[in-house]
Amino acid sequence: MRSIKINKDVLKLIFERLKASHRVIGPKIENNVIVLREIDYDDIPAGSSDIQKPSFYRISPDKKDGIFSFSNGTDSFKRFLQPPLREVFKFKKSKKSISITPSLTKEMPIAFFGIRACDLSALRLYDRIFLEGNIRDEFYYSVRKDLLIISVNCLYPCDNCFCSSMGTGPEVKSGFDISITELRDSFFLDINTISGKELLEGLPFEEPNSNDADERISRIDNCRKLIKKSVPFNELQRIIYRNFEHPRWTDIAKRDLECGNCTQVCPTCFCNSTYDYVHISGISKKTADISGSRIRIWDSCFSRNFARVHGGNFRPSRRARFRHWMSHKMAYTFDQFGMTGCVGCGRCITWCPAGIDITDEIEALRSCL
């Protein structure tokens, strides 16, 4: 890894060079919410900040200094790697043959611009699920293999963040091509790959000095101090597994609206369902041609039908569904994938209309041990 320092106006040159070869996905403001979209440099909400609390989100009227002055918005990057709705393949069956055609289209590669440490941790979990299992997800692979990542060290956490206690932030440590830390008058860049080095070739830069390195560390440390929420990371599995029948789950179920907001905004949720859309032509079963497509859509373990199988539903109650979701985040993924299923981004707290705070619920269960 190599580190350099650039003037702030050079960032626009980097962005324009990136835009020439990639679809740049980054933050912008739409309908008074910071979302992720394909952006131009001027779309970055520089100087903007947000106010987040349980069941509360607002863009602050106060302006801050700097370019990356805001925290994570509603979107995570997962929608560009696993879209909410996509066609998996087309099929056609005639009397003599059957054909299946994968629905993969060649598009300009994607660059994630401004991805934070928590979302990079979520991306590592997605890689485990969709690339390293027995069956590789070909759509995910087609996007992921050419993905360029320009990450940002988070300096302004929201009140719902708890990434530091999960070990997933706020500092970006791996999984990026270029990492940006905004200093007072410049940017400190860590270059981690050949692709990142090539993107910067020919652009003006300086070698950072010890003061620059100290300011980088100081700003990230200050972000850690601003993070208000936490969970006991090393106790999470014990808390979940020893309280599986605790009445707290019933208390949560009384407040839970079963809307699935948390699963939609969570960067690590990956539940989906598939459906076949079938078209039949012909006048009889023997002569009919059958064609159609298989569609994959996001689903949620909060959906009452998600756990329905032949013979019944193995999570019939709201209590069981919430317990499964929270247990999967905080315990099961350690056993399944060797890493956390919650990255501490706090989105589920912000966007829960009932204001359920997962850190409070963990603490309530912990007090019963």
Q: Residue 285 above 80 pLDDT?
A: no
Helix (H) or strand (E) run with residue 16 in it: helix 10-21
pLDDT of residue 86: 93
**Poorest-pLDDT segment among 231-235, 289-293, 294-298:** 289-293
Find all residues with CB under 8 Å of 3, minimum gap 6, and list them.
Answer: 188, 189, 190, 191, 208, 213
Find all residues with CB under 8 Å of 43, minimum gap 6, and list them.
Answer: 26, 27, 28, 37
Q: Residue 198 above 80 pLDDT?
A: yes
pLDDT tens digits along 299-354: 999 998 898 888 888 899 999 999 999 999 999 999 999 999 999 999 999 999 99
CA geometry: angle 264, 267, 268, nearest 5 deg: 100
pLDDT of residue 70: 94
Q: What does the pLDDT average to over 15-40?
A: 95
User: What is the overall mean pLDDT for the chain?
Assistant: 93
Dihedral angle at the C-alpha atoms of 216, 222, 227, 228, nearest 10 degrees? 170
Question: 3-class DSSP state for residue 123?
Answer: helix
Contact call for residues 305 and 330 (beta carbons, < 8 A): no
pLDDT tens digits along 5-19: 999 999 999 999 999
Q: What does the pLDDT average to over 241-269?
A: 95
Residue written as token pair 């014990």: 238
pLDDT tens digits along 121-171: 999 999 999 999 888 999 999 999 999 999 999 999 999 999 999 999 999
Residue 71 phi/psi, 5° resolution?
-100, -175
Question: 3-class DSSP state for residue 98?
Answer: strand
pLDDT tens digits along 74-109: 888 999 999 999 999 999 887 778 888 888 878 899
Contact call for residues 140 and 127 (beta carbons, < 8 A): no
Indicate the pTM of the whole model: 0.92
pLDDT of residue 284: 57
Identity of the amino acid at 33:
V
Residue 109 per-residue DSSP state: P
pLDDT of residue 286: 62
pLDDT of residue 145: 94
pLDDT tens digits along 59-73: 999 988 899 999 998
pLDDT of residue 283: 56
pLDDT of residue 134: 85
Rounded distance between C-alpha atoms, residue 140 and residue 294, angstroms: 16
Q: Residue 52 above 80 pLDDT?
A: yes
pLDDT of residue 114: 95
| DSSP letter string, 222-285 | HHHHH------GGGHHHHHHTTTT-THHHHHHHH-----HHHHH-SS---EEEEEEEEEESSST
pLDDT of residue 288: 67
Residue 362 phi/psi, 5° resolution?
-65, -45
Residue spans of the domains in the chain: they are: 2-85+104-226, 233-269+300-366
